[in-house]
Chains A and B, each alone.
Chain A
Amino acid sequence: MAKKINLIIDGIPVTVDEGTTILHAAKQLNIHIPTLCYHDDLCVAGNCRVCVVEMKGARTLPASCAMPVAEGMEIMTNTIKVRTARKHIIELLLSEHNAQCTTCYKNGNCELQSLAAEYKISEPTFIDLVPLKNYQIDAFSPSIIKDDSKCIRCQRCVRTCEELQHVSALGVAYKGDKMKISTFFENPMFEVVCTNCGQCVNRCPTGALVERNYIDEVWDAIYNPDKHVVVQTAPAVRVALGEDLGVPTGEIVTGKMVSALRRLGFDSVLDTDFTADLTIMEEGFELLGRLKKVLVDKDSSVKLPMTTSCSPGWIKFIEHTYPEYLDNVSSCKSPQQMFGALAKTYYAQKRNVDPAKIVSVSIMPCTAKKFEADRPEMRSSGFKDVDYVLTTRELAVMIKQAGIDFGALPESRYDSFMGESSGAAVIFGATGGVMEAALRTAYEVVTGREVPFDGLNITPVRGMEGVREASIKIEQTQGDWKFLEGAVLKTVVAHGLTNAKKVMDAVRAGKGDWHFIEIMACPGGCLGGGGQPIPTSAEIRQKRADAIYREDAGKTIRKSHENPEIVSIYQEFLHEPNSHKSHELLHTHYKERQRY
């Protein structure tokens, strides 16, 4: 047990574990200390200095986020010295910040703006530094826009990119008055190792890093009578959208979201969960096929372990970092892109709509999906398969713009077809979900029996641990799958690219004997995606994950291959998993990219 430390904060005695910071000790007393550079997910930087407090006997004001408690310490968080210092610091940040709040995308959701309001900053005290600097907006990326004039140099993005993602696309450049957050050789974000994961966007306290939004483009499409606008919603959107619309964290809003999308004017409200189920069919059979080719046919051109391909952040990461393993990546497109390809083929035919008139919109928890939709590989319908990708946040903006009282909306169901899904699809939103869904189907295909886990809940692959391994012994196989009799299928799940790196380094070093690897670029999987409502923390992500597993448990259909719409699409259109038609529309390949 940790040693206990006694201290006094604002005259109130408190006892905390050794190693606790003053900031957290104050939190236990419900004393609010403002912060900017501090973030629950990241290491302590102590560089904004907004959280300074007075410490008895000290000449300077320590930053409470970085100062550990000590026995007998006396802290004052609300003195004239502290107030003056904090106000000065906020004023300094404002003098360096492009404070055109009314035209800022983050207006109303900016931590600096809130602090300025809290400290009632009126007239600018100091000289405006923004006109003295030659700021240029980096708007080349289809995913992320970087505006240095709004940057307060808190380095949350730098720490995110390095610690959580091991990408380090963003770093600190220059020093002194010229210090800025930049990229390799100051190239645009689009041309560096950035994976577009948007975790930096999720943690930027101001409007310096935001998603490229396509709100107006989508409105234009909706208002255009010549267009047929189809929308799909990713599994993780429904467990987080409510956070931006006044609903408590962890509440699922699927039904209200569907109603809202109809009210916005989309012609058809469909579900990415449908193609998540389809992904399981394609990817599950691809895995079984690879196992057969490797184990039975001894085909050395086929690679194992196979990794998932749903996360476009992961795809770009492997393209840059482990290009020699690109053949190990499942050839399946992500559910978003499968949906896009089908929307302008299968859907268009069945609904008798000219695919040229279809505008395909997706609502994603993700900023990398914007980049993915723009990839040249993603045009197998003959058109751009997905025209516009909106983040969960952008959808929330549209709902507010439309004057909809979200909380009062009735619940409604997705349109059919391409709207039905299983519980296996729902859990795609959480780390380990794709693995669990794939195992539920693959095991049953091979053995004719359900996976041997209570209530189909494959708990070893669940949870928030960075890297999780699980194995299943395959017994009493049937038909074509006899070759797998007695085999132990070894799997590993990783979320956050730092953990992905651990897994891939093990593979590279020959230490991992896995068959199937699930990797999601974002912490917690898609539910912690870069396009999800801000803020994020381990606690918030856990609540979203709990919601996802609740939704799965409540579904009548729990396995992808039992989704009736999946059964029909194979009967009517695709014939069988990994068919010629599937390969044409639902599979793709990726390319090596330079590290620098």
Chain B
Amino acid sequence: MPNNFLRRVDLIFDEDCNLKDVLKSTYQRSNDDIINELLESGLKGRGGAGFPTALKWKFTSEQPDADKYIVCNADEGEPGTFKDREILFKVPFKVFGGMAICAKVIGAKEGFLYLRGEYRFLLPELENQLKVFHSALNDLGINFTIKIVMGSGAYICGEESALFESMEGDRGEPRNKPPYPTVSGFRKKPTVINNVETLVYSFMIFRYGARKFKELGTADSRGSKVFSISGDTPKPGIYELELGMTVEQFVEEFGDGDTKAVQVGGASGFCVPRKKFKDTIIGFEGVPTGGSMMLFNSSRSMYNVLKNYLEFFEEESCGQCTPCRVGCQQLKLGIEAVKKGERHAVYLDQLQKLAQTMKITAKCGLGQSVANSFFSIVENFKEEMIY
């Protein structure tokens, strides 16, 4: 039976567009016009947090500073995502194009692409593509250059302010916010930092107009999204799908017939158990995702899944703030102790309270989001945690 609700889209990898044409037509428009079109599209950041892209650009454009930057966050580190890699491999010119449009709006002369350390193999080809791009800009008389900066493999450097610290040569630790990047980002200057995919959608919105994008998706989650699908699925891979589907529809298409849970949004996302598949929308009105979709069938121990995530966080926390540094260790040791019978099952309640504290007191999104997978796995698979 065909899955009527699952609409495949081909915006991201669509090669029916000419970089120069899009840039030329967009550069002729006023900045307000560009921002309004982007606002109209309803595009929200594709990194996971979902901040309206147009507003980021607008706030940065309003800053009086002479130096401003556009940074592409290509530090794709969330467990289970690998879509930015594919985008950078196949259509890097669209990423660069999105950056060039943003640069015009905010008044940036320099852009940076912060590339995940593990993606170093992409670097030579990206540099080649960048040469082509720069020469196109030269032809168009656009004064804008992009440099690629390599990360070194720390998950935390995907957090925007830690990414700036890393780019500046310092230890990748998140900063206090406010000020936000739109006011004080790279080199403490107003900076737009967008995910790879967000920049491509921005570019495509100026290729096809906001309407085409807006027709897709729901009121809260406009457009389509690239998903990285892995786990217990017969067809793992990268798919661009319209937003607004339920987990049930998703599982129908990608499950192996025995799916017991889907982890939406990676280790920092939410675990949706089978009983909630029907009522859970994948999108900002339900469970948001930066693209990671991991399917688990009944052969999997959700205790092991959670422990794996906690081990990941324990290691990838930058370690500066107490709730995240110590909290991650305590959550991991705590579930181990309960599993081994060293602590009573009620200790899980204590750990849930701790996770709640982490959610509201950690300095950045990393520590705050550990609670997402912790709550959703412990609450839905409590028996697996204890026995």
Does chain A have a CB within 8 A of B301?
A: no
Does chain B have a CB within 8 A of A509?
A: no
B176 and A52 contacting across the interface, CB-CB below 8 Å: no
B171 and A93 contacting across the interface, CB-CB below 8 Å: no
A95 and B326 contacting across the interface, CB-CB below 8 Å: yes
Report A66 CB to chain B, min CB distance, Å: 4
Q: Which of A68, A92, A177 contacts B322 (CB 8 A)?
A: A92
Report A93 CB to chain B, min CB distance, Å: 6
Contact with A along B313-325 (1 / 0, CB 8 A): 1111111111101
Which secondary structure dominates chain A's binding surface? Answer: loop
B325 and A177 contacting across the interface, CB-CB below 8 Å: yes
At the interface with chain B, which of A83-91, A213-221, A571-579?
Answer: A83-91
Does chain B have a CB within 8 A of A63?
A: yes
Contact with B along A90-126 (1 / 0, CB 8 A): 0011011000000000000000000000000000011
A177 and B318 contacting across the interface, CB-CB below 8 Å: no
B326 and A59 contacting across the interface, CB-CB below 8 Å: no
Complex CA–CA separation, A96 to B357 (angstroms): 17
B325 and A63 contacting across the interface, CB-CB below 8 Å: no
Does chain A have a CB within 8 A of B337?
A: yes
Complex CA–CA separation, A93 to B325 (angstroms): 10
Interface residues of B in 302-340 (CB under 8 A from A): 313-323, 325-330, 333-334, 337
Report A336 CB to chain B, min CB distance, Å: 38
Q: Which residues of A contact B326 (CB under 8 A)?
A: 92-93, 95-96, 126, 129
Q: Which residues of A contact B318 (CB under 8 A)?
A: 175-176, 179
B176 and A66 contacting across the interface, CB-CB below 8 Å: yes
Contact with A along B339-374 (1 / 0, CB 8 A): 000000000001001100101111100001000000
B319 and A175 contacting across the interface, CB-CB below 8 Å: yes
A sample of 15 more A-B contacts (CB under 8 A), given A48-B321, A93-B326, is: A46-B321, A47-B321, A48-B322, A49-B323, A60-B359, A61-B360, A95-B330, A129-B329, A153-B320, A155-B320, A175-B156, A176-B315, A177-B325, A177-B329, A178-B319
Q: Which of A85, A95, A127, A176 contacts B361 (CB 8 A)?
A: A85
Among residues of A, the one whose C-beta sits closest to the C-beta of B367 is A49
Which residues of chain A have a CB within 8 Å of any CB of chain B?
44-50, 52, 59-61, 63, 66-68, 81, 84-85, 88-89, 92-93, 95-96, 125-127, 129, 152-153, 155, 172, 174-179
Complex CA–CA separation, A92 to B358 (angstroms): 11
A63 and B176 contacting across the interface, CB-CB below 8 Å: yes
Does chain A have a CB within 8 A of B167?
A: no
How many residues of B are in contact with the other chain, CB < 8 A? 36
Listed A/B pairs (13) with beta-carbon separation below 8 Å: A47-B320, A49-B323, A84-B353, A93-B322, A96-B325, A96-B329, A152-B322, A153-B319, A175-B154, A176-B314, A176-B315, A177-B314, A179-B325
Q: Which residues of B contact A63 (CB under 8 A)?
A: 176, 363
Q: Which residues of A contact B171 (CB under 8 A)?
A: 172
Q: Which residues of B contact A174 (CB under 8 A)?
A: 319
Complex CA–CA separation, A52 to B361 (angstroms): 7
Among residues of A, the one whose C-beta sits closest to the C-beta of B154 is A175
Report B274 CB to chain A, min CB distance, Å: 29
A49 and B176 contacting across the interface, CB-CB below 8 Å: no
Does chain A have a CB within 8 A of B178?
A: yes
* Most chain A beta-carbon neighbours within 10 Å: one of B173, B326, B368: B326
B320 and A88 contacting across the interface, CB-CB below 8 Å: no
* Most chain B beta-carbon neighbours within 10 Å: one of A47, A52, A67: A47
B319 and A176 contacting across the interface, CB-CB below 8 Å: yes
Q: If the complex has contacts A47-B322, A59-B360, A89-B322, are A175 and B330 also in contact, measured as CB distance less than 8 A?
A: no
A127 and B333 contacting across the interface, CB-CB below 8 Å: yes
A-B pairs with lowest CB-CB distance, top 10: A179-B319, A92-B326, A66-B176, A88-B357, A47-B320, A46-B176, A176-B317, A176-B315, A60-B360, A47-B321
